[in-house]
């Protein structure tokens, strides 16, 4: 199986100026593409060659895991965002957020704090466990909640390549502007699935 870079669900300048065209050209067009390309090279003639991307994320280690998880994580990240998002959760997800974080603002505060505080490169995730309790998970490098049997609902990429063109060292400003584009209709679909 040859893994493909999924099409970005909006134009490369659709999230500007908070996330510029140049950032998307590099982050999606170069970094995300490179993980997909590396994965295809690494799995050729191995037991992973015919597995789905998610199966590789669950089973691989080392370079194959790193590139598969980065390919998966970036698609999940880019597909969480929209230039015309649903700006707040509603329904059962909103109720679960109130129950587990006190309020929507409480969730955003805890998630942003974890994203700002993650040392080095990685991802911060909103996840649900089996009985649908929500929590925030900080993962280094290519870490992915599927490996912990958790359901990912939302993530932010805090590798420097995600924000350095637009924000230089100001990761907290990148995180604050990220919320402008989170599409809660997408997060709700993931929650109820």
Strands of 151-157's sheet in order across: 134-140, 122-128, 151-157
Taking the complex as a whole, the smallest distance from the CB of residue 90 to Mn ion amounts, in Å, to 29
Q: Examine residue 157 and tell whether it contacts Mn ion (CB under 5 A).
A: yes
Residues 20-40 as b/e (b if ≥16 CB within 10 A, e otherwise) read beebbebbbeeebeebbebbb
Residue (89 or 122) nearer to Mn ion, CB: 122
Q: Examine residue 159 and tell whether it contacts Mn ion (CB under 5 A).
A: yes
Residue (16 or 94) nearer to Mn ion, CB: 16
Stretch that binds Mn ion, among 46-54, 106-114, 118-126, 154-162 (CB under 5 A): 154-162
Taking the complex as a whole, the smallest distance from the CB of residue 161 to Mn ion amounts, in Å, to 5
Cα–Cα distance for residue pair 12/138, rounded to 1 Å: 27
Burial of 100 (0-12, 13-18, 19+ CB in 10 A): middle
Residue (159 or 167) nearer to Mn ion, CB: 159
Stretch that binds Mn ion, among 1-9, 113-121, 151-159, 166-174 (CB under 5 A): 151-159
Q: How many helices (H) and strands (E) does the chain have?
A: 9, 3
Residue (31 or 59) nearer to Mn ion, CB: 31
CB 68 within 8 A of CB 53: yes
Give the footprint of Mn ion on this chain (CB under 5 A).
Answer: 157, 159, 162
């Amino acid at each position: 199986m040859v893994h493909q870079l999924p099409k970005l669900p909006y134009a490369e300048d659709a999230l500007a100026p908070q996330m510029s065209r140049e950032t998307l050209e590099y982050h999606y067009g170069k970094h995300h593409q490179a993980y997909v390309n590396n994965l295809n090279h690494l799995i050729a003639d191995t037991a992973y060659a015919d597995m789905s991307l998610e199966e590789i994320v669950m089973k691989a280690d080392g370079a194959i895991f790193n590139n598969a998880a980065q390919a998966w994580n970036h698609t999940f990240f880019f597909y969480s965002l929209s230039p015309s998002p649903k700006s707040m959760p509603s329904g059962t997800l909103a109720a679960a957020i109130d129950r587990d974080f006190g309020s929507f603002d409480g969730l955003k505060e805890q998630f942003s704090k974890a994203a700002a505080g993650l040392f080095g490169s990685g991802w911060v995730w909103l996840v649900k466990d089996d009985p649908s309790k929500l929590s925030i998970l900080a993962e280094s490098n290519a870490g992915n909640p599927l490996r912990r049997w958790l359901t990912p609902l939302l993530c932010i990429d805090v590798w420097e390549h995600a924000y350095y063109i637009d924000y230089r060292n100001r990761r907290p400003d990148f995180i604050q502007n990220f919320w402008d584009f989170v599409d809660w209709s997408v997060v709700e679909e993931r929650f109820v699935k």
